[in-house]
Amino acid sequence: MYMQRVLITGAASWTGGNLARHLETRPDLEVFAVDDQKPRVEFTSEFQRLSLDRLTLARYVLDVRPDVVFHLQSIHPKSEHGRNTEAEERIVGSLALFGAIERLDTIRRVIVKSDTAFYGASPRNPSVLKESTRPQGTPSRFQRDLTEMERFIADAAVRQPDTAFTVLRFAPIFGPRVGNPISRYLTLPSVPTLLGFDPRLQFIHESDAIAALEHAGDHPVSGTFNIAGHGQLYLSRILRLGRRIPQPLPGRLFDGALNGLQRLNISVPDHLRGLLKHGRIVDTTEMTRTLGFEPTYTCRQTVLSAYGRQPEGER
């Protein structure tokens, strides 16, 4: 039986590690994982620690000759935090990777993890963002990087009509185990919020995020898709559901409080500050209709599960 070869970049991240762990249980797949850091989640597949911003990655890809590429760490995590030299290099790494993909004729699917931060968080954005919506307002650094990366993919997809390029724009991933900036922020015992603003937020449950990536690997559909759970919640409601105490602070103090959190190793990157002011809701019609993916958790259930309450108890 032919084993499909799967390459996962950014396997050190929570999502990457769990995807590798999930895919290696399947008998029809052979998993190869790369990252430049030590994995946060343990898995047994071959892991190669190499710099993602050099040509080494491209050479490795040419060696492995994968069938499916999951490009998860397309953006350097530090890019989320506004420091940008590494981010710049990582973009170059993505460029090299897409070059390698173009040279190999074995690759049939490329799945890229993007973020709904692509749309930014502007008061001028429409209430419901579709995949085709052009974002408004001044873009953050992270947003610019995402835009640039998605442009590479669009270019590559034009040149390689036989390969399915799937871009998944994930809503913030939330759940009981994932440790990303937004989940650390929301699970603080007392959460600083911006006085006078109550953003509408949307999440994807951590297990649904892995399932969405796997689904995209199994069902090749070219295109860009928003990935989020059904429904949406106001930040104040989320904190009520989690029994957390909101601390409404006026603008300057709010910024100060978030900077203070950075000392406690809970960083709130710039693009999340915009999100905590204006919120963001994406349209998921394309996700269910064209991609055919149906998340098991609604946003509400995601929040309940992340705070350790029983979402299935709610009927």
Residue 184 neighbours by CB under 8 Å, 6+ apart: 266
In the complex, minimum distance from the CB of residue 313 to another protein, in angstroms, rounded to a whole number: 4
Task: Indicate which single residue of 200, 219, 244, 273 sits in contact with another protein (rule: CB under 8 A).
Answer: 200
Scanning residues 73 to 102, which ones bind another protein (CB under 8 A)? none
Select 69 or 121, whichever has its Cβ closest to another protein.
121
Does 234 bind another protein (CB under 8 A)? Our answer is yes
Residue 188 in contact with another protein, rule: CB under 8 A: no
# chain residues binding another protein, by CB under 8 A: 34
108 binds another protein, rule: CB under 8 A = no
Cβ at position 241, least distance to another protein in Å: 5
* Least Å from the CB of residue 284 to another protein: 10
Shortest approach of another protein to residue 306 CB, angstroms? 12
Contacts within 8 Å (CB) and 24+ apart, 26-31 = 27/1, 28/1, 28/3, 28/4, 29/3, 29/4, 29/5, 30/3, 30/4, 30/5, 30/6, 31/6
Member of 126, 176, 220, 246 binding another protein (CB under 8 A): 126
249 binding another protein? (CB under 8 A): no
Of residues 128, 188, 253, 257, which one binds another protein by CB under 8 A?
Answer: 128
> Using CB under 8 A, which of 186, 281, 287, 306 touches another protein?
281
Closer CB to another protein, 105 or 314, in the complex? 314
253 binds another protein (CB under 8 A): no
User: Long-range contact list for 239-243, CB < 8 A, 24+ apart?
Assistant: 239/186, 239/191, 239/193, 241/300, 241/303, 241/304, 241/307, 241/309, 242/186, 242/187, 242/303, 242/306, 242/307, 243/307
d(C-alpha 210, C-alpha 7), whole Å: 15
For residue 31, the tally of other CB atoms under 10 A from its CB is 27
Q: Which of 27, 196, 263, 265 binds another protein (CB under 8 A)?
A: 196
Buried b (16+ CB within 10 A) or exposed e, 193-214: bbeeebbebbbbbbbbbbbbbb
Q: Please identify, using beta-carbon distances, which residue of 265 and 310 lies nearer to another protein.
A: 310
Stretch that binds another protein, among 10-18, 31-39, 62-70, 307-315 (CB under 8 A): 307-315
- Contacting residue, 22, 240, 244, 273, with another protein by CB under 8 A: 240
Give the footprint of another protein on residues 153-172 (CB under 8 A): none
The correct pick among 55, 241, 253, 261 for binding another protein (CB under 8 A) is 241
Mention every residue, 6+ apart, whose C-beta is less than 8 A from residue 154. Answer: none
| Region of 46-54, 121-129, 166-174, 267-275 interacting with another protein (CB under 8 A) | 121-129
Binding site for another protein (CB under 8 A): 123-124, 126-128, 130, 133, 194-200, 231-234, 237-238, 240-241, 278, 281, 283, 298, 300, 304, 309-311, 313-315
